Structure 1
Amino acid sequence: MRCFSDTWLGPRAVVALAVAAVIACVGGGWSVVAARRPVDTTPADAAIRQWVRYPSIADHLSPQAELGKRLFFDTTLSASKRMSCASCHSLAHAYGPPNGRAVQLGGLHLDRPGTRAVPSLRYLDHTPLFSLDAFTPGSEDAEYEGPRGGFTRDGRAASRQQQAAIPLLDRNEMANADPQTVVAAVRDGPHAAMFRQVFGADVFAHPAQAFADVGAALAAFQREDPSFHPYTSKFDAVMSGHARFTAQELRGYALFNNPRKGNCASCHIDVPGPGGRPAPFTDFAYAALGVPRNPAIPANRDPHHVDLGLCGPYRRDLRGQARYCGMFKTPTLRNVATRRVFFHNGVFHSLRDVVAFYVQRDTDPRRWYPVVHGKAVAYDDLPPRDRGNVDHADAPMDRRPRDPPALDAQEIAEVLAFLRTLDDGYSANAGGPALRADATMAGGASGSRHGAAGVDSPR
């Protein structure tokens, strides 16, 4: 990115300057003030309310996006008639799962468990198209090339529109038999008239196109409604000069960026993107992390069931390409502290455990993996032939048994303090995330009461 001049600065250099600027600006507290920026006397809370208040913003949605909003919360689009998109992607939980289940329940009777944890639908706006050989802007290694982009955890959907089709048709989720069934549900449902107004009076005479239009409407809602990209975290407030990091948060921020400590920023990019858009906290790339197998997923009772991410079972075009087996897309860390399940298989329920796993995975494998005949079976959720794909090159996962971990307990607490600054809904007056987009998004979002239902088996 270009910063303050025509001189090109690499992302790590930008971060170093940013941290230095933060430290330099300390005075009576920990603060960041934008260079040469006039003092903004507008209360931060007022700006946050302007971003997240649903009734005023809803008036500015296009007709297609307004239709998509109604379809998003419409339970009649599921075979059970009790599940909507919002059942799994809860507005009250940053469009992520509404409970602590590793996988959600769906199907005709809401009794079919999935195999993957539900991801958040926030901050997907700048997701690039999938590529196997792509440069990752903002990554620590300027030479990095590898899989990048696409929607869902294995990147097989090229757009939000294609992504929307997956839960509508999956038997473990909304469980519609085929696209025609979905179109019939819309035709016979409460939004048929609006659907005709948006897509044409004869839209239901062309079921294939009508099904694509359902996805287009859902994609428009996610693209246009600010609740999917509010940028109202404390981190954003600090970067704009409207808030201050605490001393603990600032230390965590430094550890987050330190390439020999947390090294989180090498994958979770924390510098502005093209055009100065806010930091995405993901590089949209893929990695094999070797997370433990989760016995809470019913499918895992079958020892032959394996989820290999890029090379199957849901993505089929990369089957047989062994070097990609076990790789899943790096999610954004925005709102990560609001989550109750982590990683693609929901194996962890504590953010502290997630950070500890990164730094102790190989220094203390017995803590994370089953022990057989006195030896930890590391990376046990992958077949032995694919365990060589697990990342050992990048800190903090470059350690060996009995090496000291990259972070100690105090440093883990400091990183956690920084990660909590990435949650949306920060209130400067309250000193924390008090104003949430989910609390002000009204509009009859009926899907929230069905929060225990849903599934994300193929995402």
Structure 2
Amino acid sequence: MKQVLAVLAAAVLAGCGGGGSSSGGSEAGTAATETALSAQAQLGAKIFVDQTLSASGRQSCQSCHDPARAHGAPDDHAGQPGGKDTLTDQGGRSSPSIRYLKFNASFAFANDGTPTGGFFWDGRATSLKDQAGGPFLNPAEMANDSVEDVVAKVAKASYAAEFRQVFGQDIFSRPQDAYDRLKLALQAFEQEDPAFAPFSSKYDEVLRGKATLTAQEQRGLVLFNSPAKGNCAACHPSAKGADGSHPLFTDFSYDALGVPRNPKLKTVQDDPGFFDLGLCALPGFESRADLCGAFKVPTLRNVALRGSFFHNGRFTDLKEVLSFYVTRDTDPARWYTQADGSVVKFDDLPERYRRNVNRTEAPYNRQAGAAPALTEAEIDDLIAFLKTLNDGYVTP
């Protein structure tokens, strides 16, 4: 599934300002800081933080996409709280970072059949604009009853006059159009504000020749790129693009990793027979059993700032994530032991779909009892490198 890399992602990104398979830009973020946001993007910035646009009056886009956490989840919850009144509902998936998504494209199958692109964990949204409209109407998130409900709230907002000035004095009399413009404003904000793609990590400074990795960080980079060790670069390319643009640390593809079931998710608590099937659950893909269990490959930029990991938020510690990667197959009892003491490998998928889980690429290509691809010390080295991907690096 993952043999896509340069040629595929270059084609995917060509229409949306991206570089090569691993790239999105380098100096673009610096240049953007000198450019004022458009009127639409300024509106988007206000909408992004407006809690009054939720049914509870207590939730905004920023509630699940905190700038202090690289526009990802603000905590380590498996799913963020939401709903009508008391925020007692829970999102069915973890909230990923939305940084660097402006370099993504809509979902498509490559010539070799590899799925790539799309927004949300399952790629169901076609653009940032499409994605922006989802949470307002999701009953477990901002929980508005209808488009008209959302637009009525915008019409009462402090920026309503500004909204009319940008999109037309009669815009609120046309709710569907007004909702479309709301989504357009949010997309403009995410595309234009340099905070969503700053390329300001230590690793970016290294690529610019303005910083140097420590010995441990350099060892971690070698492990990250090594096909026989971490093999992270197979899905999270780390090299500059052919045009010199900086890597995005995702190829925007999908993979089935067999992440253990998370009992902290309300969907699992309410229905022990429920399984989140990912890509194959989308309308039109019901017959694609080979896609069941596949979820979007996220960027590893700012990964050390995350409080929860994977689509189901199963892990809350980066070292535990890497330990899972390298011992999933060599010590499955560590991750898949059930309440009755049995070991059910890949327990968050129905048995008939477990064959889809990636077992051919390192570090997953090992048998039970074999040595893991990384030692504990090597995991620490890899984490040291991953921390260099955090935005906001200041040269000492």
Give TM-score, length-normalised by structure 1. Answer: 0.78
CA 1:373–1:195 in 2, change beyond 3 Å: closer, same or farther? closer
Contact 1:272 1:280 in 2 (8 A): no
Aligned to 2:93: 116
Indicate the SS of the match to 2:114.
strand
Aligned to 1:361: 328
Which among 298, 319, 323 is matched to residue 266 of structure 2?
298
TM-aligned CA deviation for residue 318 of structure 1: 1.3
- Tell me if 1:181 matches 2:158: no
Contact 2:66 2:74 in 1 (8 A): yes
CA distance in 2, matches of 1:249, 1:386: 38
CA 1:237–1:172 in 2, change beyond 3 Å: closer, same or farther? same
CA 1:234–1:398 in 2, change beyond 3 Å: closer, same or farther? same
Q: What whole-Å deviation, never above 9, does each CA across 1:181-233 have from its counterpart, x for those lacking one?
A: 11111111111101011111111121111101000000000000000000110
Unaligned runs of 5+ in 1: 1-9, 13-46, 136-143, 430-459
Aligned to 1:151: 119
CA distance in 2, matches of 1:122, 1:152: 13
TM-aligned CA deviation for residue 134 of structure 1: 1.3
- Tell me if 1:254 matches 2:258: no
Contact 1:307 1:326 in 2 (8 A): yes
Which among 217, 221, 231 is matched to residue 263 of structure 1?
231
Q: What whole-Å deviation, never above 9, does each CA across 1:61-81 have from its counterpart, x for those lacking one?
A: 000000000000111111111
Contact 1:233 1:422 in 2 (8 A): yes
CA distance in 1, matches of 2:259, 2:169: 50
Which among 64, 82, 85 is matched to residue 61 of structure 2?
85
- Tell me if 1:329 matches 2:329: no
Aligned to 2:139: 171
Contact 2:105 2:127 in 1 (8 A): no
Which among 185, 189, 208 is matched to residue 217 of structure 1?
185
TM alignment of 1:15-34, pairs within 5 A: none
Which among 34, 46, 62 is matched to residue 70 of structure 1?
46
TM-aligned CA deviation for residue 317 of structure 1: 2.5
CA distance in 2, matches of 1:294, 1:164: 26
CA distance in 1, matches of 2:267, 2:171: 39
CA distance in 2, matches of 1:275, 1:216: 30
Larger Rg belongs to: 1
CA 1:271–1:59 in 2, change beyond 3 Å: closer, same or farther? closer
Give TM-score, length-normalised by structure 2. Answer: 0.90
CA distance in 2, matches of 1:182, 1:275: 43
Contact 2:289 2:353 in 1 (8 A): yes
TM-aligned CA deviation for residue 427 of structure 1: 1.0
CA distance in 2, matches of 1:67, 1:272: 34
Aligned to 1:19: none
CA distance in 2, matches of 1:73, 1:412: 37
CA 1:257–1:59 in 2, change beyond 3 Å: closer, same or farther? closer
Which among 55, 72, 78 is matched to residue 102 of structure 1?
78
Q: Which 4+ residue blocks in structure 1 deviate beyond 3 angstroms?
A: 56-59, 371-375
TM-aligned CA deviation for residue 308 of structure 1: 0.6
Contact 2:330 2:368 in 1 (8 A): yes
Unaligned runs of 5+ in 2: 8-26
CA distance in 2, matches of 1:372, 1:75: 41
Partner amino acid for 2:64? C
Q: What whole-Å deviation, never above 9, does each CA across 1:235-254 have from its counterpart, x for those lacking one?
A: 00001001010000001100
Identity of aligned residues (%): 49
CA distance in 2, matches of 1:382, 1:121: 26
Aligned to 1:309: 278
TM-aligned CA deviation for residue 371 of structure 1: 4.2
Aligned to 1:393: 360
Higher relative contact order (Cα pairs below 8 Å, separated by 6+ residues): 1
CA distance in 1, matches of 2:161, 2:263: 46
Indicate the SS of the match to 1:125.
helix
Q: What whole-Å deviation, never above 9, does each CA across 1:31-70 have from its counterpart, x for those lacking one?
A: xxxxxxxxxxxxxxxx99x959xxx959700000000000
Aligned to 1:435: none
Aligned to 1:229: 197
Partner amino acid for 2:343? A
Indicate the SS of the match to 2:388.
helix
Q: What whole-Å deviation, never above 9, does each CA across 1:292-349 have from its counterpart, x for those lacking one?
A: 000011211212211011022xx32312321100000000000000001000000001
Contact 1:288 1:391 in 2 (8 A): yes
| Count of residues in correspondence between the two structures | 371
- Tell me if 1:348 matches 2:315: yes
Aligned to 2:250: 282
CA 1:340–1:94 in 2, change beyond 3 Å: closer, same or farther? same
CA distance in 2, matches of 1:276, 1:51: 15
**How large is the Cα RMSD of the aligned pairs?**
2.0
Which among 142, 145, 163 is matched to residue 195 of structure 1?
163
CA 1:274–1:63 in 2, change beyond 3 Å: closer, same or farther? farther
